[in-house]
Amino acid sequence: MTTAQFEKETSKRGEWVRQANRFTERITADGSSGWRAEPGRYRLVVCLACPWAHRSIIVRGLLGLTDAISLAVVDPIRDEKGWRFTLDEGGRDPVLGIEYLSQAYLRTDPDFSGRVTVPCIVDVESGKVVTNDYPRITLDLSTEWREFHKPGAPDLYPEARRAEIDEVVEPIFRNVNNGVYRCGFASSQEAYDEAFTALFGELDRLSERLSGQRYLVGDTITEADIRLFTTLVRFDAVYHGHFKCNRHKLTELPVLWAYARDLYQTPGFGETVDFDHIKRHYYATHDAINPTRIVPQGPDLSGWDEPHGRERVGQ
Residue 183 a catalytic site member: no
| 3-state SS assignment for residue 124 | coil
Q: Which residues contact 252 (CB under 8 A, 6 or more apart)?
A: none
Residue 116 annotated as binding?
yes
Residue 117 annotated as binding?
yes
Longest dimension (CA), the chain: 56
Alpha-carbon dihedral angle through residues 29, 51, 263, 140, given to the nearest 10 degrees? -10
Q: Which residues pair with 42 in a beta bridge?
A: 123
Residue 66 annotated as binding?
no
Nearest residue to 224 (alpha-carbon basis) of 164, 180, 269: 164
Residue 181 a catalytic site member: yes
Distance, CA of 79 to CA of 101 (rounded, Å): 12
Active-site residue identified among 50, 120, 183, 245: 50
Distance, CA of 61 to CA of 277 (rounded, Å): 19
Residue 273 annotated as binding?
no
Active-site residue identified among 100, 134, 157, 181: 181
Q: Which residues contact 198 (CB under 8 A, 6 or more apart)?
A: 174, 175, 179, 182
Residue 272 annotated as binding?
no
What amino acid positions are annotated as catalytic residues? Answer: 50, 181
Binding site as annotated, residues for glutathione: 83, 115-118
Binding site as annotated, residues: 83, 115-118
